[in-house]
């Protein structure tokens, strides 16, 4: 492990301050743009809309950096390298991506505590933050654009969808814009399932191949390699756990819609 440079520390703390600035500004701006009644009865809605605005902005940064890295010639050369060289080759854009992710996961830990998200989110943010931290050494930059960048497409969609939930977003927004809520739900599912339940395990296979090859050769810390391997198992398991949550939520929403439609039909017949 090497000492972080002044540039890296500045990037992490600067990103952390930027995320807070976006969050706090959003709390002031959105209540002035959306109907006033959405925020009068539930002050928590102001907190949630600030948080999720920050999430979406952060995700766009991650996706941009991932695309930028993949377009660089030096990055593309990594896939023709041997595992040992590929794992330790640094890409400056991937390093920046890891640093802004560290700041984001720290911000997320605070938000999860304040909002009472639950233990599984603490575990996720902790694991993701430490993986980004170890990546700055450098380590596994070849896989950073996907795991730290492209997967956040589904996170951005989830955060927008979350705004329509009375418990995790702006209370009443879903009732005010029901069709938009349905569209965002479909878009989220279309992003989450291929990215996190299909491509994620596929990319994880190659991560494991490279890590086990380096472990066999023995120059790297076994603790760090084990952390990445166990972390990958835990985070992969979470993707499928959340897939189950998506299916159950979709089923409940469909049943609620069906009950509402049936009730209206009976009411119309009675009239």
Model pLDDT, residue 131? 94
**What does the pLDDT read at residue 258?**
63
pLDDT at 224: 87
| pLDDT for 263 | 55
Q: Which helix (H) or strand (E) holds 218?
A: none
DSSP string, 108-166: HHHHHHHHT--HHHHHHHHHHHHHHHHHTTT--GGGHIIIIIITHHHHHHHHHHHTTST
| Rg of the chain in Å (alpha carbons) | 21
Residue ranges for the chain with pLDDT beneath 50: none
pTM of the shown model: 0.90
The pLDDT of residue 156 is: 97
From 200, 107, 183, select the one nearest 149 (Cα to Cα).
200
Handedness of CA 38, 120, 67, 23 (dihedral sign): positive
How deeply is 155 buried, as exposed, middle or buried, from its count of CB atoms within 10 A (0-12, 13-18, 19+)? buried
Cβ neighbours of residue 187 closer than 8 Å, sequence gap 6 or more: 157, 161
Domain ranges of the chain: 6-256
Instruction: Count other Cβ atoms within 10 Å, centred on residue 52.
Output: 24
What's the pLDDT score for residue 8? 95
Closest C-alpha among 71, 63, 134 to residue 99: 134
What confidence score (pLDDT) does residue 203 get? 97
Residues 233, 204: Cα–Cα separation, whole Å: 9
């Amino acid at each position: 492990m090497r000492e972080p440079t002044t540039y890296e520390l500045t990037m992490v703390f600067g990103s952390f301050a930027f995320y807070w600035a976006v969050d706090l500004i959003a709390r002031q701006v959105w209540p002035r743009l959306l109907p006033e009644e959405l925020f009068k009865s539930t002050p928590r809605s102001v907190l949630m809309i600030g948080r999720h605005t920050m999430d979406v902005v952060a995700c766009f940064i991650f996706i941009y950096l991932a695309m930028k890295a993949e377009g660089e010639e030096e990055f593309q050369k990594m896939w023709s390298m041997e595992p040992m060289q590929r794992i330790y080759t640094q890409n400056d854009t991937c390093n920046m991506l890891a640093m802004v992710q560290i700041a984001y996961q720290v911000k997320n830990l605070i938000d999860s505590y304040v909002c009472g998200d639950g233990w599984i989110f603490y575990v996720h943010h902790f694991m993701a933050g430490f993986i980004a931290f170890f990546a700055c050494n450098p380590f596994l930059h070849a896989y950073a654009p996907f795991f730290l960048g492209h997967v956040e497409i589904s996170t951005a969609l989830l955060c927008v969808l979350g705004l329509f939930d009375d418990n995790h977003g702006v209370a009443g927004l879903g009732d005010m814009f029901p069709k938009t809520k349905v569209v965002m739900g479909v878009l989220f599912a279309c992003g989450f399932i291929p990215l996190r339940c299909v491509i994620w395990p596929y990319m994880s296979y190659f991560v494991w191949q490279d890590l086990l090859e380096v472990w066999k050769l023995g120059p790297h810390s076994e603790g760090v390699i084990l952390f990445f391997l166990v972390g990958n198992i835990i985070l992969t398991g979470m993707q499928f756990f959340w897939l189950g949550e998506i299916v159950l939520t979709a089923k409940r929403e469909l049943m609620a819609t069906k009950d509402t439609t049936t009730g209206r039909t009976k009411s119309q017949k009675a009239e």
